[in-house]
Chains A and B, each alone.
Chain A
């Protein structure tokens, strides 16, 4: 047995290397093409030769898929014009090439504010391209386990996917903790309270509320198995976003607001969900947590 590789600590390219069949990743627009941001040099900021995202095709347990991996260490994985265009191009190419699935390794704070409107437009185009891909029968699976989480526009993109797989360490939300604190004050949300931040935005809370479908340990191999199973479960099925699914989502969100809207801490919510020993949930390992959550979690 080789030592587990931490998904959280790996770079985007290391994740691609360890998640997919060895040597199978074939990159589109590799760094040597030097397709970089036109905006950053004007702001005297460094560029990256891949603009913070590697896209291409690879074999996931032998199954051909298209993949994108965002690099959280480059500007928090933020989406600029080129970065977004690469994601859009990948999703459109997946439709054109009739690929079974696209796997997105999301790690992003959202729109790259340096590129303001270009980044905002890029993110909206990514959402549209993702839903078009689903409509065309291309399943989209998102993995969230990087230290920058999936926030802002990429948080929304993540929730547009067929299946979301997270680790507890991964985080998924709209506004990040610092943003909420800045906008609404420390009484609303103390971004320096790490335990609070993780139990609010982290994978376990998302799993209990039904915002992600799978939760795994912070181990690339665990993510690989879960991604393989997700792709296999979606193969040949209906991947499109349906009215029924939207109505079910709407009901889930309305129920959430009705049941938990007045509660202030996730532990209160877990208690209301009748999770046993709610206060101890952050201490459970992934398997024990999944077992404990089995008959209590929302969503499917």
Chain B
């Protein structure tokens, strides 16, 4: 197991809906818990993952995600069981869209 933490400053997009969870902690999948939090305008992401040694890839995927959404005052917590970067990105977008009420 490995725990990774990222914090992105200066977001502009605040979410106000109650916390939401999307996805399931199962093989090749993950759950994303997204919730509003007072973080001085930052977006914090904590990842607990079963796959060790992929920190650089996680950082790239998280940076890419934050560039898409520019989240502010948002806490994201992830329990991962070996999801691929594409699945991670999809789940993160799904989490934000669920908060916005426009999930498919």
A residues whose Cβ falls under 8 Å from a Cβ of B: 11-13, 30-32, 34, 41, 44-50, 52, 71, 73-74
Which residues of chain B are within 8 angstroms of A32 by Cβ–Cβ distance?
18-19, 21, 33, 35
Within 8 Å of chain A (Cβ to Cβ): is B50?
yes
B79 near A46 with CB under 8 A, answer yes
Q: From residue A230, how far is it (CB to closest CB) to chain B in Å?
A: 27
Within residues 1 to 28 of chain B, which ones have a CB less than 8 A from any CB in chain A?
1, 18-19, 21, 24-26
Within 8 Å of chain A (Cβ to Cβ): is B80?
yes
B residues whose Cβ falls under 8 Å from a Cβ of A: 1, 18-19, 21, 24-26, 29, 31, 33, 35, 48-50, 77, 79-81
- Interface of A: prevailing SS: loop
B79 near A50 with CB under 8 A, answer no
B35 near A49 with CB under 8 A, answer no
A31 near B80 with CB under 8 A, answer no
Q: From residue B99, how far is it (CB to closest CB) to chain A in Å?
A: 12
A46 near B80 with CB under 8 A, answer yes
Please tell me which one of the listed residues B26, B31, B49 contacts residue A49 in the complex, with CB atoms under 8 A apart. B31
B24 near A48 with CB under 8 A, answer yes
The tally of CB-CB contacts under 8 A between chains A and B is 49
**Which residue from chain A places its CB closest to the CB of B52 in the assembled complex?**
A44
- Interface of B: prevailing SS: strand
Which residues of chain B are within 8 angstroms of A50 by Cβ–Cβ distance?
21
Which residues of chain B are within 8 angstroms of A11 by Cβ–Cβ distance?
24
**Which residue from chain A places its CB closest to the CB of B18 in the assembled complex?**
A32
Q: CA of A57 to CA of B60 in the docked complex: distance in angstroms?
A: 40
* A/B interface sample: 21 pairs, CB < 8 A: A11-B24, A13-B21, A31-B19, A31-B21, A46-B1, A46-B25, A46-B49, A46-B50, A46-B79, A46-B80, A46-B81, A47-B79, A48-B24, A48-B79, A49-B31, A49-B33, A49-B77, A49-B79, A74-B24, A74-B25, A74-B26
Chain A CB within 10 Å — which of B19, B49, B80 has the most? B19
User: Given known contacts A32-B19, A48-B79, is B24 in contact with A71 (CB within 8 Å)?
Assistant: yes
Give 5 nearest A-B pairs by CB, closest first: A73-B26, A32-B19, A31-B21, A48-B25, A73-B24
Q: CA of A73 to CA of B83 in the docked complex: distance in angstroms?
A: 14
Q: CA of A12 to CA of B23 in the docked complex: distance in angstroms?
A: 10
Please tell me which one of the listed residues A30, A45, A48, A73 contacts residue B19 in the complex, with CB atoms under 8 A apart. A30
